[in-house]
Amino acid sequence: MSPVLRVSGLAKSFVMHAQGGLELPVLQDVALDVAPGECLALVGPSGAGKSTLLRSLYGNYRPQAGSIRVRHKDEWVELVDAEPRLTLEVRRQTIGFVSQFLRVIPRVATVDVVAEPMLRRGASPEEARRHAEFLLGVLGIPERLWSLPPATFSGGEQQRVNIARSLISDYPILLLDEPTASLDVANRDGVIDLIRDRRESGAAIVGIFHDVAVRDALATRLHTVALPGVRA
Amino acid sequence: MTKPLLSAQGITKRFGDRVACRGVSFDLWPGEVLGIVGESGSGKTTLLNCLAGRLVPDEGAVLYETASAGTVDVHRLSEARRRLLARTEWGFVNQDAREGLRMGVSAGANIGERLMAIGARHYGDIRRTASDWMQRVELGLDRIDDRPTAYSGGMRQRLQIARNLVSNPRLVFMDEPTGGLDVSVQARLLDLLRGLVDRFHLSAVLVTHDLGVARLLTHRLMVMQGGEVIEAGLTDQVLDDPQHAYTQMLVASILPV
Amino acid sequence: MPDTTLDQGAYNYAYLDEQTKRMIRRAILKAVAVPGYQVPFGGREMPLPYGWGTGGIQVTAAIIGRDDTLKVIDQGADDTTNAVSIRRFFARVADVATTTRTQDATVIQTRHRVPETPLKEGQILVFQVPIPEPLRMLEPRETETRTLHALSEYGVMQVSLYESIARHGRIAKTYNYPVLVNGRYIMSPSPIPKFDNPKLDCNPALQLYGAGREKRIYAVPPFTPVKSLDFDDHPFEVEHWKESCALCGSRETFLDEMIVDDEGTRRFICSDTDYCQERQADSVK
């Protein structure tokens, strides 16, 4: 199958102005392709730039050079230096991101947190709520917590809410940053199943999996990330 | 929509020798919330007032795509048309709610005013609409005949929002809408604003010095310093990967909780 | 008893000098040309203080002529101190005939009432106005009220009516009830009871309004639509009385409630003294 995500020549450094303009190059000349049904696991030592790469794919970090092209609404679009509204549209419809941390918004009930992306895409409130409740059930969040804001949940519960929110829409491309980081084994397996289902339904996935077992269960390919100048 | 909802082109405003804002340009598209952040004196409020037609820029133009009359140059409109626009398609939420409310009349009258200004003449209907909006901004219906003088700061702010939104504006300007309010009141207000922006597909230009507010409410961010826009982009990108020295300093200055 | 006939050397005709009369007439013409619009004028010092009808007097002085017949009423009565004083003033300085009969007058100066007897084409009704700006209580800034009138931004007026209903269950304003003139300007009809508002609509007479302290003149030309403001579901209504006039038996006029003795006996009597007397005279015939 042909790729839906193509990266080439990607370069990213951080310039720390407070430290006298110290420049830290993190990514240099990165290239990769991902096709539907593939799960590309980013591997490499800590601090090598895996997270930086993932965030750059989402538009959260700004690369200095290179190209990130995605298949969006049957067209190729370039995400590097794209207009904000294009990136927002791509995030709404094409690329989903599971971060390590749930950004907690005060006062919004868990079920509404999860349903929101689906509502944004135009689904009816009833349909979105149904889906949200289903996912929360699959991920083992007890029903009594559904109407509470997640601010007081445990780390693992928040992470599962995060995953539910990111997976409620059928994104063609999924970016996963340590999705099972704060989960115990039982919950972890549930998440693995969900993600594998997505992969098998045709999602193209790029992920960082610290847990080797998770990586082995999900990855179809590995991609090594190394700091510039360091041999992979 | 093929044209931006609001287009700022080279906005420059001086006060004597001092340049309050210089050469600011951007396009705002429907459904976008644009944040303008900066510290005191950065020019953000001056810029907002130029965009909203309250101040005339010395250079540049503000173009607005109306609902049914094409593109207009905001500062070339007659005063009558500009005031009508401000009362119908636009909203303006002031930092101090007292400036955006009639303190001497009831909450219901405050909310109903825009309707009456465009010809609504049925008391019962006006009151019903006002009641709907009281509920949407979480004000108790039993307070509808109270004057804003009897309201707390957070309640006044919510009333100001209702008063603006009753005419279903397409574009809302907000100047530090949560400034000066208690933290819990702020949280409630921010959540309300988020919900209303989503539900009514509002576009907004929001001025704030609080990066947390920007993170929560805005899609895009412009950082101003000394009258210039020194960085702009997606909100999460500007806050998570700041490029400019000043932006990095601002982000690093947020007190951890 | 001082000689009250016209002393040719002491005053200019009708007290005001010719330039002043010219200026006021220009203001009146402008006012007539734009019904309901408040025209500023250079008000002069008059021989009575503000609040006693200086605006009305200046308007009357500018239009009155030797062939006119003047009637002056105060709250409908020809015989109050003020009405008598003003009538005598013009008799002295304008050498003009005076009357208490509405149908015989060519110029009628009034404080706070419209005569009950229907007016005819050719008659002029001059109102004494304390506060000409109908929006004044809602918007204290003159700069802003002028802008509101210019742009026809009258939402604030409707807001005040809403507020009245919210507070009292109905529009509680019973005098100085705001009206829309010729579909364009909102006007204060002066503190006449709302009972009189319908008389202003398409009246054959010319209505002139003078505010001396505020120095404004406005006008409603003959046969001009004048509509009292209201809501669709709270329409404008006039006052009604259960009683009839104790003197003439009228059931259709504005009645004053009088306490006639130390026991507190109440009687309702027509406020318009001329109309009441005419009715009494008719019933005797």
Kindly state whether A121 is in contact with chain B, defined as any CB-CB distance less than 8 angstroms: no
At residue C7, the pLDDT reads 55
The active-site residue, picked from C36, C53, C55, C76, is: C36
The one-digit pLDDT tens for each residue of chain A (232 residues) are 899 999 999 999 999 998 888 999 999 999 999 999 999 999 999 888 999 999 999 999 999 999 999 999 999 999 999 999 999 999 989 999 998 776 767 778 999 999 988 888 788 889 999 999 999 998 989 999 999 998 888 888 888 998 999 899 889 999 999 988 888 888 888 899 999 999 999 999 999 998 999 999 999 999 999 887 765 5
Catalytic residue among C76, C202, C248, C264: C248
Q: Which position has the token pair 């950082």?
A: B223
CB contact under 8 A, A120 and B198: yes
Closest CB to B237 among A60, A106, A116: A60
* Contact list, C147 vs chain B (CB under 8 Å): 79
Name the β-bridge partners of C126: C109, C208
Active site residue C276: yes
Structural domain range at position A198: 36-61+83-224
Chain B residues touching C233 at Cβ < 8 A: 122-124
Q: Sort out which chain A residues have CB atoms less than 8 A from B241's CB and list them.
A: 14, 55, 60-62
CB crowding A66-102: b at 16 or more within 10 Å, else e: bebbbbbeeeebebbebebbebbbbbebbbbbbbeeb
CATH of domain C18-136+165-228: 3.40.50.11310
Q: What is the mean pLDDT of residues C129-146?
A: 94
Query: Tens-of-pLDDT digits for all 257 residues of chain B?
Result: 579 999 999 999 999 999 999 999 999 999 899 999 998 889 999 999 999 999 999 999 999 999 999 999 999 999 999 999 999 999 999 999 999 999 999 999 999 999 999 999 999 999 999 999 999 999 999 999 999 999 999 999 999 999 999 999 999 999 999 888 888 888 888 888 888 888 888 999 999 999 989 998 999 999 999 999 999 999 999 999 999 999 999 999 887 76
C281: CB partners within 8 A, 6+ apart: none
Classify residue A135: in a domain, yes or no: yes
| Residue whose C-alpha is closest to residue A191's, from A201, A180, A204, A202 | A180
Check if B122 contacts C (Cβ < 8 Å).
yes
CB proximity A151 to B under 8 Å:
no
Rounded to a whole number of angstroms, the distance from the CA of A55 to the nearest CA of chain B is 9
Domains assigned to chain B: 1-89+171-177+201-257 (3.40.50.300)
CA–CA min distance A12, chain B (Å): 11
DSSP string covering chain A: ---SEEEEEEEEEEEEGGGTSEEEEEEEEEEEEE-TT-EEEEE-STTSSHHHHHHHHHTSS--SEEEEEEEETTEEEE-TT--HHHHHHHHHHTEEEE-SS--PPTT--HHHHHHHHHHHTT--HHHHHHHHHHHHHHTT--GGGTTS-GGGS-HHHHHHHHHHHHHSS--SEEEEESTTTT--HHHHHHHHHHHHHHHHTT-EEEEE-SSHHHHHHH-SEEEE---TTS--
> What CATH number corresponds to the domain at position A107?
3.40.50.300
**Six-digit token string for B12:** 């420059």
Chain A residues in contact with B190 (beta carbon < 8 A): 106
The answer to whether residue A30 is domain-embedded is no
- Least CB–CB distance from A108: residue in B191, B215, B237: B191
> Catalytic one among C43, C210, C245, C264?
C245
Distance between CA atoms of C112 and A100, rounded to whole angstroms?
78
Question: B248 vs A16: CB contact, 8 Å cut-off?
Answer: yes
Which pLDDT score is estimated for C2? 46
How many folded domains does chain A comprise? Answer: 1
Of B93, C207, B4, nearest to A84 by C-alpha is: B4
Is C202 labeled as catalytic in the residue annotation?
no
Residues B157-216: pLDDT tens digits?
Answer: 999 999 999 999 999 999 999 888 888 888 888 888 888 888 888 999 999 999 989 998
Q: How is residue B246 annotated by DSSP?
A: H
Distance from C-alpha of A222 to C-alpha of B126, rounded to nearest angstrom = 64
Asked if the structure places residue A78 within a domain, the reply is no
Helix, strand or coil for residue C231? strand
Q: What angle do CA C55, C57, C58 make, to 5 degrees?
A: 65
B102·C159 Cβ contact <8 A: yes
Asked if the structure places residue A1 within a domain, the reply is no
Contact C165/B at CB under 8 A: yes
* DSSP 8-state assignment for residue B239: H
* Whether B142 contacts chain C with CB within 8 A: no
Assess B108–C contact: CB distance below 8 Å, yes or no.
Answer: yes
Instruction: Kindly determine whether residue A106 and residue B191, on different chains, have CB atoms separated by under 8 Å.
Output: yes
Chain C, nearest residue to B121 by Cα = C231
Q: Classify residue A7: in a domain, yes or no.
A: no
Please tell me which residue of chain B has the smallest CA distance to A108: B191
Contacts of A55 in chain B (CB under 8 A): 240-241
Identified catalytic residue from C53, C56, C76, C276 = C276
B112·C163 Cβ contact <8 A: no
Going by their DSSP bridges, the two strands C97-98 and C255-259 should be labelled as unpaired
Contact criterion met (CB < 8 Å) for A17 and B240 = no
Q: Specify if A151 maps to a domain.
A: yes
Q: Which of A62, A119, A120 sits opposite B233 (nearest CB)?
A: A62
- Measured between alpha carbons, how far is C236 from C228 in angstroms, rounded to an integer? 7
Contacts of B114 in chain C (CB under 8 A): 155
For residue C269, give Cα distances in angstroms to C74, C196, C260.
15, 16, 11
d(CA C173, CA B114) in angstroms, rounded, equals 23
Q: How far is B106 from chain C (nearest CA, A)?
A: 7
Residue B147: closest C-alpha in chain C: C163
Question: A186 at the B interface (CB within 8 A)?
Answer: no
Give the ipTM of the model, two decimals please.
0.89
Q: State the Cα angle at C86 between C83 and C88, rounded to 5°.
A: 105
Stated pTM of the model: 0.88
* Residue A84 contacts residue A90 (beta carbons within 8 Å): no
Cα torsion A184, A186, A191, A192 to 10°: value is: 110
The kind and range of the H/E element at C89 are: helix C81-94
Find tokens 């995500």 and name the residue: A5
Min Cα–Cα distance to chain A from B177, Å: 17
Three-class HEC string of A33-72: EECCCCEEEEECCCCCCHHHHHHHHHCCCCCCEEEEEEEE
